[in-house]
Structure 1
């Protein structure tokens, strides 16, 4: 998942990105050095230019929640002053005095959003959430003041119209088009009355997004399942130690804590023999935001859906999905639904087969149960052992987080010619002791490219899941800027001295998010706006990088036993490869159910919508298997309802996966396989370096020589391949 730092144009125009940043990121507590005797206009560290080596880095060690509000207010004031100067320029509008000026504006605010994002996503606290609630509507109003600035839009439109007659350089033409269309999509051409309503809706939505996000976070923090020693049956020693540490960290010495996050829940449901506790852990996790209390999100969702429909109606669109997808690869909801509907029948048919296999194992064991959602992972693991003689817990012994990180560095070196060197602790400010930093250089020339921050472990105040972001993106229009990129995960922190062992799925996600970081580092764009992306395309590059986890060079050199250091046995590798499509029914169905619900919610009439009822009835119509649930149930579907980044765009992971499977075949067919230098060079040149400087479909055709086909995706998942 991308949580990209905002370029100037996106920051000041795309409300959805601002609100997402204002509501779905998280905690840091430091000493406030401000004293009563200081003058009113004290320097605010969050506004200051970054100093130190590597082109300057964020002063995370000086970050203070109390500085956020005044910094945001000052940053918005400064940015609006810059925008007014651009809008009121007496000279005729040109690319330089309008578009480039906008690209340059907002440097202070951009820096503040870096700190805001960390405090929201990684280090949230009750104090910060209060500031967040207060500032979300102000940020929305700020956005509207820019997107609805008539003089500014008139200048942008003039530059756009002129560029249609006399085209600029290719990347400049792209910036102009993206800027113009972004303003138009966000109401710049509405009349005065509609603009007021549009802005009011945005303001209300920003408050709802913040409330939704904080409700989910509080439910994640508020529900912990504590175990006693006699309730650990089936759990591995490293997992037991990790749960013990989680309990100790919460003041429950001698107990074992399963926290309400995926990284803690998932292994428990997979290995625990305690069925009643599995059910409790499952219900805690999948009822986040849906407990009928003051943290319940159903009313928030209903309001969000109504306001989104009303807002796009002002722009002449029938529904939110039509408006959102107009500048995506899918172009419209019909195309997105066509792809999902092509895969859905095969996915649920495979679930039926998987459940039959699991029920047979349960019956043979004399368990006298019918498979329920809290049983799926547990019995799937038993089927895996029976069918493939493959124990995923045995595989985990060879999946050490540190070695996987080394493997990612190796892949980056082979494909991108990058070298990662650890930065000495204390040289670069970090926001938590868990965060480590590496310098990224070109292996051949030694050229400095940027810094990579890694924040791997779960903690209170950190939102769940995994994501990538940038603190500074590559640009050259105003002097070359290096990249400050970050990967963030929620692995369960081990007991001191213990290795961090992860599942194959978690290892895949680790590679996925690193793919986003490589996309940031590889950028060769001139202008900030071009570092943005098309949502159903930007997941493609990261999904593609997942494929290198299962390459022989990674397996042979980096999958070693955490105790003995011995390489993973070839027999075990063979079992992993034979089981490559195992449980694809579960994986595809839980994802697609969320993607389909996202789209169907936004195509429906929300006038009197009952969110819980709509979810149940729609899933019933889809013949959703009762033995599993959506990957993200609606009341905690943060991708879609804590902001607008993935709203009606969750299908994008599958759209991107069509590209991924097809592109992977290009490597598989090459003489050097996944390390073929010629294909790797094309990968970097056409799919990574351009970012959003060229149309994604055109970029893919330059790489592959044709459009992507769905056949490779179906084959990868072990589903029947449709006839041409």
Structure 2
């Protein structure tokens, strides 16, 4: 337990995963909260007049052990959890929430912060210091410091309940994902399915002591199945299973959790004097307010809708011509899209996968980062890891100095939630003259290797890897003084720029030549395949845009005004009517597993994927103009975006990089919508 009370004695102070016992966590949280509380008391009890250094800086550097412990625990709770860990999460979350509230509602501490804030115009502060001061003041004013005692108590109660209910939401979705399997014993039912997907399913069945093939709702199993299976009924069965996660009137149902989370968020916002949860959230975003977001979403919707309806009509006509289907259903989408793509571009994932061996793609991402930003990646075997699938790397600059520690974790398993994400075990910051370097991780759920084949990625998985790697670069290249402004600690609608911009290299012949090599022959991907990848990049883009906008609109409608929701399904159906192409599926409800907004941090922020696409299309247009490996542009991007974290307003950083504000035309052009 004392493990967490001081610096680790490991290489680079990395997390000593193998030495941690689950039974240590609870007491470790209690002790590190106690230490953090003592640091806060020291700030408050200081009898000197408050200064930037003894109040604002001291506050930002406080709680280091608690932050470290929280990062380790909650990251593992997503990537390598179990029932016992989930139980501990439910016990410690209220403790952390209570402590956060104790700080946010500490009147004496706020008085000191406010005293420094009130004299900000007379202080000589750097841009970063001024940003930190503003952030700390708002951290109090936006979280209840100005409330009366009765309302402060209400806020505490809301925050404690929200912390627990969001955890429960996520646990339910994970349990529903793990509870489903489609067991097939007749090989003729697998017609259309690629050999790799069959082999993976056979291996899964074997691991469960079953004959035949097993398919699950984990993406590497689910996606090939719905994309290639010719048996329409089986495609329908698994698609409906995926769509009804936590919408089954059982103990894992999330309908009431959705209603309660929305209700509590609005209550909290109203208590703090905001019109809605969205008004509260967006005050600290590039978009600034719900009206601007709605206008942004509606503007894109107007431009995407004609293209989406035209594409859907083409897809419907194609399905009718091919199989005599009169009405396309949701479970048909992936299958007929893939068939149409093959017809139009003579291209499919199975043709491409041999060129995208996971190790090669990862090394390709490393090489591109080296060419652009001057860093190298070296796999090492003396850094502790939490699962045998994890790889560990030293990230070094050209002088051999440590830039970061990088962890990668690529394959699905029982204790790991679905999806892909980047996270950090330790942030970068500068303290006492020492530049503490970050420990960054990317976690994905890719197609695992089989007995006969290495892990071969679909093109979609390739772009996912590059996307998460872009987030990782934002964390690894961070170079700020304060931990709370470092790396990805930026406005939420700016955080997707580094990740989404990296995806662009996956479409460039010059970049693909570095890593897209046939896993058996070593042959570089043929030029005509590369051209087809580029051509097909905007295939059904109108439909894809409409789908993404529908999620953003649903999020904003849940959170944009205080309201009573009687029926989650009816509410969702009504909101998504204007963006729906397929008929509704009665058994399905997206909201009950919409983890991004109900468990993660994307509430009133889902629009930011599209918002960041505008930024990334505009940013990459600059690279294309000067050359995709142009050192000058890359250095500007590194110095003004990647290394700066949240030290300045995002638009200011972007303009320093680009010389102008972003233009939406670059996105519309790339998406083929103009």
Q: Work out whether the TM-score is over 0.5.
A: yes
Query: Which residue of the other structure, out of 710, 713, 722, is the alignment partner of 2:664?
Result: 710
Decide whether the 8 Å contact of 1:590 with 1:628 is kept in 2: no
1:266, CA displacement in angstroms? 1.5
RMSD: 1.8
Query: Which residue of the other structure, out of 411, 417, 425, is the alignment partner of 1:463?
Result: 417
Decide whether the 8 Å contact of 1:302 with 1:606 is kept in 2: no
Decide whether the 8 Å contact of 1:46 with 1:71 is kept in 2: yes
Query: Does 2:637 correspond to 1:683?
Result: yes
List per-residue Cα deviations over 1:187-207 (Å, max 9, x = no partner): 111111111111111111111
Query: Does 2:612 correspond to 1:653?
Result: no
CA spacing shift, 1:227–1:44, aligned 2, 3 Å: farther
Query: Which residue of the other structure, out of 279, 287, 311, is the alignment partner of 2:268?
Result: 311
Partner of 1:206, secondary structure, is helix
1:77, CA displacement in angstroms? 1.5
In structure 1, what is the equivalent of residue 39 of structure 2?
Answer: 82
Query: Does 2:197 correspond to 1:239?
Result: yes
Query: Does 2:502 correspond to 1:545?
Result: yes
CA spacing shift, 1:713–1:557, aligned 2, 3 Å: same
Structure 1 CA distance, aligned partners of 2:589 and 2:358? Answer: 25
Count of residues paired in the alignment = 669
1:615, CA displacement in angstroms? 0.3
Moved more, 89-98 or 582-591: 582-591
Structure 2 CA distance, aligned partners of 1:238 and 1:103? Answer: 50
Moved more, 569-578 or 451-460: 569-578
Query: Does 2:319 correspond to 1:365?
Result: no
1:344, CA displacement in angstroms? 1.5
Partner of 1:446, secondary structure, is coil
Query: Does 2:592 correspond to 1:638?
Result: no
In structure 1, what is the equivalent of residue 404 of structure 2?
Answer: 450
1:388, CA displacement in angstroms? 1.8
List per-residue Cα deviations over 1:368-408 (Å, max 9, x = no partner): 45211111110011111222222232122212211110110
CA spacing shift, 1:693–1:94, aligned 2, 3 Å: same
In structure 2, what is the equivalent of residue 381 of structure 1?
Answer: 338
In structure 1, what is the equivalent of residue 357 of structure 2?
Answer: 400
Q: TM-score, normalised by structure 2?
A: 0.96
Structure 1 CA distance, aligned partners of 2:122 and 2:611? Answer: 34
Query: Does 2:528 correspond to 1:571?
Result: yes
Decide whether the 8 Å contact of 2:275 with 2:561 is kept in 1: no
Decide whether the 8 Å contact of 1:438 with 1:452 is kept in 2: yes
In structure 2, what is the equivalent of residue 348 of structure 1?
Answer: 305
In structure 1, what is the equivalent of residue 292 of structure 2?
Answer: 335
Structure 1 CA distance, aligned partners of 2:224 and 2:303? Answer: 27
Moved more, 446-455 or 114-123: 114-123
Decide whether the 8 Å contact of 1:46 with 1:67 is kept in 2: no
List per-residue Cα deviations over 1:624-672 (Å, max 9, x = no partner): 212689x9921111111114x21100111111111101111111111xx
Structure 1 CA distance, aligned partners of 2:124 and 2:217? Answer: 54
Partner of 1:486, secondary structure, is strand
Query: Does 2:63 correspond to 1:109?
Result: no
In structure 2, what is the equivalent of residue 39 of structure 1?
Answer: none
Moved more, 570-579 or 294-303: 570-579
Query: Does 2:27 correspond to 1:50?
Result: no
Structure 1 CA distance, aligned partners of 2:233 and 2:16? Answer: 47
In structure 2, what is the equivalent of residue 696 of structure 1?
Answer: 650
Partner of 1:457, secondary structure, is coil
Decide whether the 8 Å contact of 2:293 with 2:607 is kept in 1: yes
Structure 1 CA distance, aligned partners of 2:452 and 2:393? Answer: 22
Structure 2 CA distance, aligned partners of 1:486 and 1:366? Answer: 45
1:623, CA displacement in angstroms? 4.2
Query: Does 2:623 correspond to 1:667?
Result: yes
Partner of 1:535, secondary structure, is coil
Decide whether the 8 Å contact of 1:175 with 1:530 is kept in 2: yes
Q: Structure 2: give runs of 5+ residues left out of the alignment.
A: none
Decide whether the 8 Å contact of 1:63 with 1:115 is kept in 2: no
In structure 2, what is the equivalent of residue 428 of structure 1?
Answer: 383
Q: Structure 1: give runs of 5+ residues left out of the alignment.
A: 1-42
Decide whether the 8 Å contact of 1:376 with 1:628 is kept in 2: no
Partner of 1:537, secondary structure, is coil
Decide whether the 8 Å contact of 2:402 with 2:437 is kept in 1: yes
1:345, CA displacement in angstroms? 3.1
1:433, CA displacement in angstroms? 0.2
1:618-629 matches, within 5 Å, as 618-620=575-577, 622-626=578-582
Decide whether the 8 Å contact of 1:540 with 1:656 is kept in 2: yes
Structure 2 CA distance, aligned partners of 1:628 and 1:715? Answer: 31
1:209-228 matches, within 5 Å, as 209-228=166-185
CA spacing shift, 1:284–1:46, aligned 2, 3 Å: farther
In structure 1, what is the equivalent of residue 236 of structure 2?
Answer: 279
Decide whether the 8 Å contact of 2:215 with 2:221 is kept in 1: yes
Moved more, 434-443 or 596-605: 596-605
1:84, CA displacement in angstroms? 1.4
Partner of 2:549, secondary structure, is helix
Decide whether the 8 Å contact of 1:361 with 1:382 is kept in 2: no
Structure 1 CA distance, aligned partners of 2:232 and 2:323? Answer: 14
Structure 1 CA distance, aligned partners of 2:644 and 2:514? Answer: 32
Partner of 1:395, secondary structure, is helix
Partner of 2:183, secondary structure, is strand
Structure 2 CA distance, aligned partners of 1:246 and 1:353? Answer: 40
In structure 1, what is the equivalent of residue 16 of structure 2?
Answer: 59
